[in-house]
Amino acid sequence: MSYSRKDLIGMIDLSKEEILHLLDTAEKFREINHRDVKKVPTLKGKTVVNLFFENSTRTRTSFEIAGKRLSADTVNFSASASSTAKGETLIDTVHNIEAMSTDIFVVRHAYSGAVKFIAENTKASVVNAGDGLNEHPTQSLLDMLTIKQHKGRLEGLNVAIIGDITHSRVARSNIWAMPRLGINLRLFGPKTMLPLCTDPFGVKICGNMEEAVEGADVIMTLRIQRERQGKLLIPSVKEYARYFGLNAARLRLSNNAIVMHPGPINRGVEISSEIADCGQSVILPQVESGVAVRMAVLYTLGTGQRGIE
Ligand code: CP
């Protein structure tokens, strides 16, 4: 089965076959990123608009690079420099940009559900680049692509996600997607940052750091999402690092694990510098996978899946 949807809003919607189709397409695009001339004409004549109402380094840059490598015209919209500040509504903004014959919106917004709302109000394709604490589907796809690259498979792997699970759209997208592909998911973090119940999703909540890390094939740490927390959920950053940070002693419990982080990392808090830069860390390969995944998503939505040239 291929991917025939207009939009990519969340991993919650996708079947195993649709996820595998996007991952297979991304694997084919990897090679283009290593050519001398990193460009194919696939999206020539299409216009991709990056509509970012929240800050971003990796996602916005890689969507722009992905669009350019597919020969699309890419436009970056920055909320702080737009007429949003003069009171224009979200949908009016979208309709005005759509009136310029744009084809794909890549949207990041602080409100959960804002991207779906846009998708329901435009004929253009819409990609969720992160909406509030809801979902970040292309991050989940690039996480799985990176795991497959380093472990050779997804089925049957033990993946531990550690940190601020409740406020993380990355965790939420992976919780929807990974078990669908046969991954055993474990979660650990402060009780104030963990979901109360994950049984319906087939995800295990661990009681301590050792239980989460021991025997894991992949350890993914997350930063504290302060911008989405209404109140202080931990006594101090120092104590968080002591009880929930990934360091060399803890990583020794799983010598074969790869270490992941969606970024931005806070060195010395959720992950020590020593671990962020060690041989087991695939944090930068995750960023590399992001370009291939975003090429695959733009290509799939923008072309109806013509062949890769
Ligand atoms: N992982 C991620 O979404 O990073 P940015 O916020 O820099 O885009």
Ligand 1: does its nearest atom lie under 6 Å from the Cβ of 57?
yes
DSSP state string for 41-81: STTTT-EEEEEESS--SHHHHHHHHHHHHTT-EEEEEEGGG
Confidence (pLDDT) at 308: 47
Confidence (pLDDT) at 309: 46
Give the chain's end-to-end CA distance (angstroms, integer). Answer: 22
| Candidate CATH numbers 3.40.50.1370, 2.30.38.10, 3.40.190.10, 3.40.50.300; the one for domain 137-282 | 3.40.50.1370
Query: What is the SS3 assignment for 74-120?
Result: EEEEEHHHCHHHHCCCHHHHHHHHHCCCCCEEEEEECCCCHHHHHHC
Confidence (pLDDT) at 1: 63
Instruction: From the CA of 55, give the closest atom in ligand 1.
Output: 6
Q: What is the pTM of this model?
A: 0.95
CA of 139 to the centre of ligand 1 (A): 8
Buried b (16+ CB within 10 A) or exposed e, 200-239: eeebebbeebebbbbebbbbbbbbbbeeebeeebbeeeee
Could you tell me which residues are beta bridge partners of residue 125? 104
| pLDDT tens track for 207-255 | 999 999 999 999 999 999 877 777 778 888 999 999 999 999 999 999 8
Ranges under pLDDT 70 in the chain:
1, 197-200, 305-309
CATH superfamily of this structure's domain 11-136+287-302 = Aspartate/ornithine carbamoyltransferase (3.40.50.1370)
Nearest-CA residue for ligand 1 atom 3 is: 59
> Which residues contribute to the annotated binding site?
58-59, 86, 108, 136, 139, 169, 223, 263-264
> Which residues contribute to the annotated binding site for L-aspartate?
86, 169, 223
CA of 58 to the centre of ligand 1 (A): 5
| Torsion sign over Cα 85, 91, 92, 93 | positive
Nearest-CA residue for ligand 1 atom 7 is: 57
| pLDDT tens track for 246-261 | 999 999 999 899 999 9
Cα–Cα dist 141/14, whole Å: 11
Which residue ranges does the chain devote to CATH 3.40.50.1370? Answer: 11-136+287-302, 137-282
